Structure 1
Amino acid sequence: MFLKSIHLRQFRNYQDQKVEFTAAKTILVGNNAQGKSNLLEAVELLATLRSHRMARDRDLVQEGEAIAQINASLERKSSISDLTLTLRRNGRRTVALNSEIVRRQMDFLGVLNAVEFSSLDLDLVRGGPEGRRSWLDTLLIQLEPVYAHILQQYNQVLRQRNAFLKQTQDSALSSQQSEQLAVWDAQLATNGTRVIRRRERALQRLAPIATNWHASISGSTEELQIKYAPNVPLGENYPQEVQQAFLEKIQQRAIAELRQGTTLVGPHRDEVELIINQTPARQYGSQGQQRTLVLALKLAELQLIEEVVGEPPLLLLDDVLAELDLYRQNQLLDTIQDRFQTIITTTHLGSFDSQWLNSSQILLVKAGEISLPNPLD
């Protein structure tokens, strides 16, 4: 797939900016805080309807404006698609495909596929489980767009159940309240089981690919294992068994939940364990080794999405080359070649050899405006 153009209106620090992509590799050059990452964020939003930076829609709309819009033209093997995402400061976002409003988000997802790799991703290893869950969920949305709807349903039930537990915190439940809680329990178990089983299935496919990449980058000196550690026991992973285990665990934690006023059971408490040479990666080795792991995960994402959707996804590299040593930079750049359309942000061009620069489109980014470099510079 090839992103032909993107048009940003009142998005972040862009007032009205259109970019035409003319090469397989585009390098966005500029100082920090000029808008390079904002452009990548816009592409990511079209792919996943999620922001890597966990931003709320109101933060994406330019100050003093009511709406922001991202429009893009995408060429795939069989078609050209026009994608539009409209964000509102005080209201619901809307999406359109070929100028037709799309009512269900999952019908918009999966048209554009992209993998973002930014310096923030280094927290995948060092940070808490929430970041790893979010990373896995974002991948799953691209592999299986219906997952966005499943996750939304689960989170909605979770919010409602939490509100109920908060309301009844530290008090004895009436029979009516007990019946109401049982309804939330059943819905949480049903929706949570769908989330758990899909996460397990995705990691089973991703783990061997990531392990192979990790062995390649580390020269087979380290062995990577990725393990799914669900909050609810999987058993044989049949839906009925997972659901039953879910309900049993809710019963076990019932008193603690009522005392704390929050849900203690479910996939919102899952962990993805990253293990190098039998040791948890967050406790293991140097920053360089942790960066090798994250690079292996990102290359595995690219490969898995390509296998599932049948076309290579876009690769968005946000100021990440500066975080990698020369060896890992070369591993990444050699893998990319012209196989994936790649958009790279950087503050200077020193990381790239002349062959890369000659085959790339180079754009300057300054204060929310994108221009071609002056040939005399």
Structure 2
Amino acid sequence: MYLKTVQLRSFRNYREQRVNFDSQKTIIVGNNAQGKSNLLEAVELLATLKSHRVSRDRDLVLEGAASGQILAALERAYGQAELALILRISGRRTVILNQEPLRRQMDFLGVLNAVQFSSLDLDLVRGAPDARRSWIDTLLIQLEPIYAHILSQYYQVLKQRNALLKKFRQREEDNLNPEIIVEQLPSDISQLKLWDVQLAEAGSRVTRRRARVLERLTPLAQQWHSNISGKTEVLEIKYIPNVSWTEDDPLEVKQAFLEKIEKRRMAEQQLGTTVVGPHRDDIEFIINHTPAKYYGSQGQQRTLVLALKLAELQLIEEVVGEPPLLLLDDVLAELDPNRQNQLLEAIQDRFQTLITTTHLHSFDSGWLKSSQILSVEAGEIRDF
């Protein structure tokens, strides 16, 4: 796939900007806080409908504007596609494909595929579990767009169930106050049981898909990791589901959920929140039988994340049948010369690549000659 143009209107610090991509590799150079990362973020939003930097659409819209737009023209093996995403400070979005507004955002996903690698990803190893969950969920959404709907369903059930558990906890606190008489409501218990079943059904769909994609990704990451480390390190990736199961069978996994929910019922009612489910999953990275989170050096951690990103590219290409875009946001400065060379050699002309940097000395003359180079200053993009 090849991204031909991107047009930004009132997006981040861009008032009106059109970029034509005329090379397989584009280097975007400029000082910090000029808008380099914002351009890559726009492409990321078209691919995943998510930003890894902010969670509110109002933070993506130019200050003083009510809405912002991202428009793009894409060339794929099966033909051309035009994408448009309208973001509003109210939070209501509109997605448009080939000039037709879509009723379901899910139908927008999978048209443009991209892998983002930013300096923030280097915290993937040491960071909190939610960073690793977000990473694997973002990959899954690109491989299987229906997963966005599955994940949304799960969190809707989780929200409703938590509200009911919070109500139970408040009732327990009121029971401790002799001035307040609280009636037992069997209907609430019945309602919780219904939410238990829905949580188990939705949660089993999430955890089974996470396990499957990690099973496919792991050997690819291990091969890349071995190459980059010069075959001196062995990588293991372990999925640590909150609900343990052994056989990828919907009924068995659902039953495992229900059994754990029953075991933790008293704890959940006392805490007023759900403690069972994939919102508490984690992924562990192990290098030479040692958890990378606690003992890996900075170099080892960077090698690991680089291997994961290259594996993501390879897996998406295998599944969708076309190489995805690669978005490299200021990461070359974080990598030593050996890892820089491994990354640049892996890219070559295989993936359309957008790279942001504050300087050009990380690139050899061959790369510079074969790349389109753009400069960014105060939300204005020009030829370098």
Which TM-score band (shorter chain)?
Answer: over 0.9
- On the 8 A contact 2:47/2:109 being kept in 1, the answer is yes
**C-alpha displacement of 1:78:** 1.5
Amino acid at match of 1:255: M
Give aligned-pair identity as a percent.
70
Map residues 260-275 of structure 1 onto 2, 5 A cutoff: 260-275=271-286
Map residues 333-352 of structure 1 onto 2, 5 A cutoff: 333-352=344-363
Structure 2 runs not aligned, ≥5 long: 173-183
Of 273, 281, 298 in structure 1, the residue corresponding to residue 309 of structure 2 is: 298
1:356 aligns with 2:370: no
- On the 8 A contact 1:302/1:313 being kept in 2, the answer is yes
- On the 8 A contact 1:7/1:71 being kept in 2, the answer is yes
The equivalent residue for 1:230 is 241
Counterparts of 2:230 and 2:358, CA distance in 1? 30
The equivalent residue for 1:171 is 171
1:216 aligns with 2:202: no
Deviates more, 1:58-67 or 1:308-317: 58-67
- On the 8 A contact 2:6/2:72 being kept in 1, the answer is yes
**C-alpha displacement of 1:285:** 3.0
The equivalent residue for 2:54 is 54
The equivalent residue for 2:151 is 151
Amino acid at match of 1:359: S
SS of the aligned residue for 1:168 comes to: helix
SS of the aligned residue for 2:124 comes to: helix
Counterparts of 1:325 and 1:38, CA distance in 2? 25
Counterparts of 2:311 and 2:125, CA distance in 1? 16
The equivalent residue for 2:205 is 194
The equivalent residue for 1:325 is 336
Structure 1 runs not aligned, ≥5 long: none
SS of the aligned residue for 1:265 comes to: coil
Map residues 37-76 of structure 1 onto 2, 5 A cutoff: 37-76=37-76
**C-alpha displacement of 1:79:** 0.6
**C-alpha displacement of 1:174:** 2.2
Map residues 97-136 of structure 1 onto 2, 5 A cutoff: 97-136=97-136
Counterparts of 2:61 and 2:221, CA distance in 1? 36
Q: Deviations over 1:69-97 (max 9, x none)?
A: 00000000121100000001014101010
Of 364, 368, 375 in structure 1, the residue corresponding to residue 379 of structure 2 is: 368
Amino acid at match of 1:156: Q
- On the 8 A contact 1:223/1:277 being kept in 2, the answer is yes
Q: Deviations over 1:1-58 (max 9, x none)?
A: 0000000000000000000000000000000000000000000000000111133111
The equivalent residue for 2:325 is 314
Amino acid at match of 1:103: R
**C-alpha displacement of 1:235:** 2.3
- Aligned length in residues: 373
Amino acid at match of 2:347: I
Counterparts of 2:167 and 2:93, CA distance in 1? 31
Deviates more, 1:167-176 or 1:189-198: 167-176
The equivalent residue for 1:181 is 192
SS of the aligned residue for 1:126 comes to: coil
Counterparts of 2:135 and 2:310, CA distance in 1? 14
Amino acid at match of 2:188: Q
The equivalent residue for 2:260 is 249
- On the 8 A contact 2:56/2:91 being kept in 1, the answer is no
Counterparts of 2:295 and 2:49, CA distance in 1? 34
